[in-house]
Amino acid sequence: MNFNRVLAITRKEVVQIRRDPRSLAIVFLMPVMLMVLMGYGISLDQKNVPVCIFDREGSQQSQDLLKHFQVSQYFHIAKVNTDYRSLAAAIDDGHCSLGVVIPNDFSEELRKGGTVDVQGIVDATDDNTANLIFGYAESVISGYSGEVQLEYFRTNGQIEMNPPISVEARTWFNEDLDSSNFIVPGVVVLVMVVIGTFLTSLTIAREWERGTMEQLISTPVTPFEVTAGKLIPYFALGLLDTAFCEGIAVWWFGVPFRGSVWLMLLATSLFLTVVLLLGYWISAATKSQLAASQISLVTSFLPAFLLSGFVFPIDQMPVVIRAITLVIPARYYLSLVKVIFLKGTGLGPLLPQLLALTIFAAILATLALRSFKKSL
């Protein structure tokens, strides 16, 4: 390999990037747009859920229960209904996501030490959201129930009975259970997929469409030198964009970074090599910018968004889909990013993911070099 020829190809590609406003827009604007839109737009937390109340009794005890919903960060009381029909209409119209119906014998049953059934109605058009809301509501009512039980024991002179088994929950790595700590590092993966695969998918195809490939073929450069020279600028831009996005994640969104910077650089370099080679292979195989851009979107961005574990947990997918995710490079890099960011794990446990990315890079390098031939 002749380094002077590689440097000449690199300079040529840098000039081409500077002259292409679309490439510059993708390089500098796309990372910011993705980080802002997905960082704020995608959230797995449910807070301030609107609640409609139908209190059939209106006693002090029923109002105490409503106060527990008011002080909870997960709910806010949007409307107090006077009949069941208006409560159902509010849920049907989308004004409330949860309806709570307190029976007319609420306080009487509590004084007797009996069990009272409080009805909860949830809009389950989104079943995941409905399950979360039910869980939050049960937690609020369970807390109020514990207070009522304790007060009953004190009033009747009974000894409080503690349960024989209790659970003391401790959350590690994401102590506040903030979904942005899960979402924002994943956006880094999507940025690299867009920057890497989409831009390099136009490199060789652009040479063919503009008629400059004949001049490139007539030079003594080898296919390896062409590949290396064309990918180096995008590799540098990818590292720059990744560092920029990680800075936004840490200093703007407050995502903790507990791992090694050098380990993150290693993982990023491997994944960036994979996506660059994928885009280059698509470009060399199609020789058309339009076809290359469409294929790169289908084969890179969409799988990275849907099958990497960014939004949907892989272990909850069907067996066939889980098998397909094994050939999605973004799956392994996403796992690396989250572990390095939140856990701060060392090199040892990350070797399987790093090895998988290395294998992907070797396979795609072979395919890319075989697809580019110095012949018309």
Confidence of residue 158 (pLDDT cuts 50, 70, 90): low
Best mean pLDDT range from 14-18, 92-96, 288-292: 92-96
Task: Tell me how far apart the alpha carbons of residues 241 and 33 are, in angstroms, rounded to a whole number.
Answer: 12
With 0.85 as the threshold, say if the pTM is over it: no
pLDDT per residue as tens digits for the range 308-343: 888 778 888 888 998 999 999 999 999 999 888 888
- Beta bridge partners, 77, equal 51
196 and 304 Cβ atoms separated by less than 8 Å: no
Q: In the CATH hierarchy, which top-level class contains the domain 49-155?
A: alpha beta
| pLDDT at residue 176 in the model | 65
Condensed to tens digits (0 to 9), the pLDDT of residues 76-128 reads: 888 888 888 888 888 888 888 888 888 888 888 777 767 788 888 888 777 77
Q: Is residue 68 pLDDT above 80, yes or no?
A: yes
- Asked if residues 225 and 6 have their Cβ atoms less than 8 Å apart, the reply is yes
> In angstroms, rounded to a whole number, what is the distance separating the alpha carbons of residues 100 and 137?
9
CB-facing half-sphere around the CA of 369: CA atoms within 13 A: 12
Bridge-based pairing state of the strands 98-102 and 75-81? unpaired
119's enclosing H/E stretch is strand 119-122
* Segments making up each domain of the chain, as ranges: 3-43+178-371, 49-155
Q: List alpha helices for the chain, DSSP H.
A: 3-19, 21-41, 60-71, 84-92, 106-112, 127-155, 180-193, 199-200, 203-210, 213-218, 223-251, 261-286, 289-296, 302-306, 319-325, 329-338, 351-371
Query: Which pLDDT band, with edges at 50, 70 and 90, does 160 fall under?
Result: low
Kindly state the tokens that stand for 105. 């014998």
Q: How far apart are CA 55 and CA 114, in angstroms?
A: 19
Residue 243: which residues within 8 A CB-CB, separation 6 or more?
none
> How does the average pLDDT of the chain come out, rounded?
81
